Amino acid sequence: MFMFDVVIIGGGPAGVTAALRARELGASVAIVERYTLGGTCTNDGCVPTRVLAKAARLMRDTQQFADYGLFLAERPTVDFGRVLQRTQQVVYEMHEKKQLLSHLDEVGIEVYSQVGNATFVDPHTILLEDGRTIEGQKFVLCVGGSPRRLPFPGGEYALTHSDVWTLDHLPKTVAIVGTGATGCQLASIFEAFGSQVTLLELAPRILLSEDELIADTIAQEFTKHGMAVMTGIDGIERIERRDGLNHLNYKDRGEIKTLAVEAIILAVGWPGNLDALNLAAAGVEVNRNYIQVDDYLQTSASHIFAAGDITGRMMLVQSASYQARVAVENALLDTSQVAQHRLVPHGGFTDPEYGGVGYTEVQAREKYDCAVAVVPYADLDRAVIDGQPVGFCKLIVDRQTHLVLGAHVVGEQAVEVVSMVSAGMAGGLRVEQLADLEIAYPTFAAVVGLAARQLVRDLRIVPVVPEWRALHQVRGAEWERLD
Ligand SMILES: Cc1cc2nc3c(=O)[nH]c(=O)nc-3n(C[C@H](O)[C@H](O)[C@H](O)COP(=O)(O)OP(=O)(O)OC[C@H]3O[C@@H](n4cnc5c(N)ncnc54)[C@H](O)[C@@H]3O)c2cc1C
């Protein structure tokens, strides 16, 4: 007889969801968190980053004041210390809102938080740093990841996003190495506050996992805002600290170059928190930096499952919670559910914002005969009203079935817009059904209707007389039109 039916290790979105779902299914549950419940999401990732993005956005909005007849006596200046205080205040408010500790406690979950690392001593027992042991019949490992550091000389002078919350002033010059979601969001934030930002990337383009048009558009906009975007570099050589600045030596097309900046931020990956767990004692195999799981999120030890960032699959909050539900149900109910990430709307709060769901155009064309429409935000009445014409909505559909395969958006509320398309995709809407939706006016979401209706014309699902086509009226008979 074990102390608990299921022990969850890690108290982020995956761990908390797993604990609650396991309890909902009637199991006796313990959750173990080494630091504070809430994980990366609340304490170090989405929440504080989103607060900075909001502050950056407010800063940018002031640039539009005069266009709308609003005047500030002076241009706003950034009190970076107060901005950072606000991030910590909102983190606190998020904890107050969620009341995770008392909520978990009230529903009968045994909470071990602020206990340091949990370590396996045998397949059914973990040891806490204070010497207590906890036994579980089953385990769900939800230990997340941490920012990767690179082992070049002077690497200790580089920061990660986690160091941003405790900066003592706004750096005038910032180099950001890595142009995934975190690197690009930080770049946008620092640029809005007035820092001179340089982005460095080994890959040939930024935002490598996004649709190419998203990456190209964001890179162009970043450049327009005055950032330097250096892609395709060979690598970072070293950092030397001299004269109060960090000198970043990097190799670019075989040539060593130096960039002298106040702050260097690495955003180059997110390996799993494996080290402390002593997984060998539990018979759990790892695959490079993550726990190896099968389609059911089961590890090589049949009573141990994993969910969230530690599986190395989809490093997003919504995916962590989804995996947690699947892992717990498979662990407790033997449901053999496959964890699929068929539709994962996601994005970044850059300026401009971007979002995507489903296949990129390149991926879609590898598998399907596709039709693609790209409608500029400038076509939207709402974009004109709000003075935010930058962006586009790309919709990709299968010519045979007319099902939507992917949507990629740059511009205002891009993440919300792709979330709407995602709901349609999940419901199996064909493009002609999407085209007929009476989407509220004037909204940014209306761009989806414009793209869908362009496709139904291109695919000849609705009749258009040849004379009209000859007029090159590609956007068709639309109330909201550019010209
Ligand atoms: C800067 C940044 C911004 C982000 N923004 C977004 C966003 O806007 N939207 C989005 O969807 N995602 C975002 N993410 C990703 C998101 O934060 C993660 O996908 C999510 O937190 C994963 O949840 P998790 O529960 O798997 O891991 P985590 O949230 O990392 O939680 C894991 C927990 O396990 C604990 N732990 C680790 N090892 C042990 C151990 N041995 N014993 C006990 N406890 C342990 C850790 O302390 C941690 O609290 C962002 C990430 C970063 C870094």
User: What residues does ligand 1 touch, defined as CB less than 6 Å away?
Assistant: 9-15, 32-35, 39-41, 45-46, 49, 117-118, 142-144, 161, 182, 273, 276-277, 308-310, 315-318, 320
Strand pairing partners for 135?
125
Q: Which atom of ligand 1 is nearest to the CA of 270?
A: 53
Helix ranges (H only) for 334-380 are 361-367
Distance 18 CA to ligand 1 centre (A): 14
Minimal CA–CA distance to 408: which of 474, 475, 352, 358?
Answer: 358
> Alpha helices, DSSP H only, in 138-180?
161-164
Substitution site in 17, 43, 46 for ligand 1 pocket (most atoms within 8 Å of beta carbon): 46
State pTM to two decimals. Answer: 0.95
Tens of each residue's pLDDT in the chain, 483 residues: 789 999 999 999 999 999 999 999 999 999 999 999 999 999 999 999 999 999 999 999 999 998 999 888 777 899 999 999 999 999 999 999 999 999 999 999 999 999 999 999 999 999 999 999 999 999 999 999 999 999 999 999 999 999 999 999 999 999 999 999 999 999 999 999 999 999 999 999 999 999 999 999 999 999 999 999 999 999 999 999 999 999 999 999 999 999 999 999 999 999 999 999 999 999 999 999 999 999 999 999 999 999 999 999 999 999 999 999 999 999 999 899 999 998 999 999 999 999 999 999 999 999 999 999 999 999 999 999 999 999 999 999 999 999 999 999 999 999 999 999 999 999 999 999 999 999 999 999 999 999 999 999 999 999 888 888 888 766 678 888 765
- Of the candidates 182, 178, 170, 194, the residue with the CA atom closest to the CA atom of residue 263: 170
Helices (H), 180-316: 181-193, 212-224
Cβ atoms 146, 45 nearer than 8 A = no
